[in-house]
């Protein structure tokens, strides 16, 4: 890494293009070395979706399948998210989907690569990418899926258990709603999962309805 790209704390900042737009952000992110997570991952998984998306969804970080394919939310959690979006009447191709952290962090368990929770320093290192996605897309609503996404933007004092499903006004977008992460549902079964799934669908519907009641910027 060139000397001028070093800083005292990990950050993607020096890797960002000067005048960001989606194509050059995506390209620049491919070579990000802002924290150590690029070292064990296959590739950067940048966000995906229309530049004019009204709704921007944020997950935590790519999983095993996302790391291999280079696309966000294509594995088991992604399939669950797709079903929830579809039940909420939101076409996935109309929303921009991204993650708080753009590289897959994992630990080996036999031949499997298991998700490993990103540290606060890694979440903050990666945030410039997320900030640029938000500022180029200018969504009317941001939907945070799980605590990592929510706390990346709202700070560690933000508790999903308390705030989930509330339509909030924030500096990031006129509206923001935090809900559970679809992966949390994958760890449940039976009626518990059904219940959590319908609550996720309801939160997504609430987000879509909130957009309709606010004027376009
Ligand atoms: N979980 C996430 O948070 N993001 C993905 O892209 C896939 C799984
Ligand atoms: Fe850069 Fe984010 Fe990957 Fe770290 S996780 S290397 S900050 S893109």
175: domain CATH number is 3.40.470.10
Q: Is 7 exposed, middle or buried (0-12, 13-18, 19+ CB in 10 A)?
A: exposed
Q: Is residue 31 part of a domain?
A: yes
Number of domains in the chain: 1
Nearest ligand to the C-alpha atom of residue 12: 2
Q: Is residue 8 part of a domain?
A: no
Q: Is residue 202 part of a domain?
A: yes
Nearest ligand to the C-alpha atom of residue 13: 2
Q: Is residue 6 part of a domain?
A: no
| Domain interval for residue 118 | 13-216
CA of 143 to the centre of ligand 1 (A): 14
Q: Name the pTM for this structure.
A: 0.95
Q: Is 22 helix (H, G, I), strand (E, B) or coil?
A: helix
Q: Is residue 88 part of a domain?
A: yes
Q: Is residue 196 part of a domain?
A: yes
Q: Is residue 65 part of a domain?
A: yes
Q: Is residue 3 part of a domain?
A: no
For 127, phi then psi, to 5°, come to -60, -30
Atom of ligand 2 nearest to the CA of 38: 6
Residues 163-173: b if buried by 16+ CB within 10 A, e if exposed: bbeebbeeebb
**In a structure prediction context, what are the per-residue pLDDT tens digits for the chain, which is 217 residues long?**
555 556 689 999 999 999 999 999 999 999 999 999 999 999 999 999 999 999 999 999 999 999 999 999 999 999 999 999 999 999 999 999 999 999 999 999 999 999 999 999 999 999 999 999 999 999 999 999 999 999 999 999 999 999 999 999 999 999 999 999 999 999 999 999 999 999 999 999 999 999 998 765 5
């Amino acid at each position: 890494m060139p000397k001028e790209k070093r800083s005292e704390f990990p950050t993607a900042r020096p890797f960002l293009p000067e005048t960001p737009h989606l194509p050059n952000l995506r390209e620049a992110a491919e070579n990000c070395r802002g924290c150590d997570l690029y070292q064990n991952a296959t590739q950067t998984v940048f966000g995906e979706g229309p530049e004019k998306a009204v709704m921007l969804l944020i997950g935590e970080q790519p999983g095993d399948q996302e790391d291999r394919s280079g696309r966000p939310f294509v594995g088991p959690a992604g399939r669950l998210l797709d079903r929830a979006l579809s039940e909420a009447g939101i076409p996935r191709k109309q929303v921009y989907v991204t993650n708080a952290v753009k590289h897959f962090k994992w630990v080996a368990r036999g031949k499997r690569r298991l998700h490993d929770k990103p540290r606060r320093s890694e979440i903050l290192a990666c945030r410039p990418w997320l900030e640029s996605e938000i500022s180029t897309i200018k969504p009317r609503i941001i939907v945070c899926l799980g605590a990592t996404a929510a706390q990346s933007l709202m700070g560690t004092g933000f508790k999903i258990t308390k705030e989930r499903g509330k339509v909030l006004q924030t500096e990031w977008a006129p509206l923001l709603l935090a809900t559970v992460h679809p992966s949390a549902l994958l760890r449940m079964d039976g009626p518990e999962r059904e219940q959590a799934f319908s609550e996720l669908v309801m939160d997504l519907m609430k987000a879509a309805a909130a957009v309709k009641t606010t004027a376009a910027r």
